[in-house]
Structure 1
Amino acid sequence: MVRGELVGLRAMGPDDAEALWRWNHDPEVMRWMDDGYPQTVEHVRSWLQERPRNSYADALFGIESLADSTLIGLVMLHGTEPEKGIAKLDIYLGEKDHWGRGFATDAVRTVCRFGFQDMRLHKVSLTVVTENESAQAVYRKVGFVEEGRLRQVFRRDGQWFDMFTMGLLADELR
């Protein structure tokens, strides 16, 4: 387990399928996420069971509260290429009672520290919907800076939204 101050990051497995399925079918949790098509819990379980083990190219972690070992979300570093040393970050907290309490900030900081120290990354990048101000606040606390704007690339409720691209270099982590 990779430990932060509030959270621990651990590999996810088939036993996590029901939580992941529940989060992925909660409109409030998925408000600013690319949620794709509805899946059965059996499909999610099969996906978790069959996906390759965590690697440099694709590392998926469950986020657990250190206080009570509850699985509260997931974070992922993916699309990593050794030649570039850059990974993409995705995160969400599925347990809404943990929102706004510092868990997401600690999870982002912890996974980025892992990426820079253990994976020897140079940079972590992400995209975030411009209206998702709470996520942007988390990213900025950790040291991410806005690098650009992608116009009308995210659709929700019949409306198109822009996304920011943000990046964090190894020496900028806070």
Structure 2
Amino acid sequence: MPTGELVRLRAFDPSEAEALWRWNHDPDVMRWMNDGYPDSVAQVAKRMSEWPRNSYEKVVLAVETRAEGRLIGVAVLRDAEPETGNAELDVYIGEKDCWGSGYATDATRTMCRFGFDQMRLHRVTLWVVADNVAARRVYEKVGFVEEGRQRECFRRDGEWHDMIMMGLLESDLRD
């Protein structure tokens, strides 16, 4: 299991659908993410039970605290291509009492290290809403740099926001 200083990454179990459902229906957690349409815990559990095995193309891992083993978030490397050595990262901490404690930074760093070491990636990219200052700070601490901007493509609370593309090369990763 990929392990950082504060977190451990592991496969999800369908029995953890309630936590995923709760996070995905919390307006604070979903503030800067595409949240789609509401669904039930049963729908989330069914979808989780039908997830394909983790593979090179898509790795979905639960983020748990290293000390207590408490489930607190999600980390995903997706759209990985062996021909280019690229993948896209999605990560979030769903347990709000864990925000601001370094878990997101450690989960991001640990997932990227997994991608570089185990998947032999060369590059990891991500998209973040420009106004999501906390997430941008996390990514910059890990070594991500801004590489592009898509103007006014994310709508929240009646306002349009820019999305920033950030990239991390293996040599950029900060410990």
Give the TM-score range, shorter chain: over 0.9
Quote the offset at 1:81 in angstroms.
1.1
Partner of 2:81: 81
Partner of 1:141: 141
Structure 1 residues 114-156: Cα deviation after superposition (integer angstroms, max 9, x where no partner): 0000000010000000000000000000000000110011011
What letter is aligned with 1:112? C
Q: TM-score, normalised by structure 1?
A: 0.99
SS at structure 1 position matched to 2:59: strand
Partner of 2:101: 101
What letter is aligned with 1:72? I
What pairs with 1:23-102 in structure 2 (closer than 5 Å)? 23-102=23-102
SS at structure 2 position matched to 1:2: coil
Quote the offset at 1:13 in angstroms.
1.9
Task: Return the alpha-carbon distance in structure 1 between the equivalents of residues 16 and 75 of structure 2.
Answer: 14
SS at structure 1 position matched to 2:64: strand
Structure 1 segments unaligned to the other structure (5+ residues): none
What letter is aligned with 1:118? Q
What letter is aligned with 1:17? A
Sequence identity of aligned pairs in percent?
A: 60
SS at structure 1 position matched to 2:139: helix
Partner of 1:132: 132
Task: Return the alpha-carbon distance in structure 2 between the equivalents of residues 75 and 39 of structure 1.
Answer: 21
Structure 1 residues 89-127: Cα deviation after superposition (integer angstroms, max 9, x where no partner): 001110000000000000000000000000000100000
Quote the offset at 1:43 in angstroms.
0.7
Number of residue pairs matched by the alignment: 174
CA-based RMSD: 0.5
Displaced runs of 4+ in structure 1, greater than 2 A?
Answer: none
SS at structure 1 position matched to 2:92: strand
Structure 2 segments unaligned to the other structure (5+ residues): none
What letter is aligned with 2:107? A
What letter is aligned with 1:144? F
Partner of 1:8: 8
SS at structure 1 position matched to 2:161: strand
Task: Return the alpha-carbon distance in structure 1 between the equivalents of residues 42 and 59 of structure 2.
Answer: 22
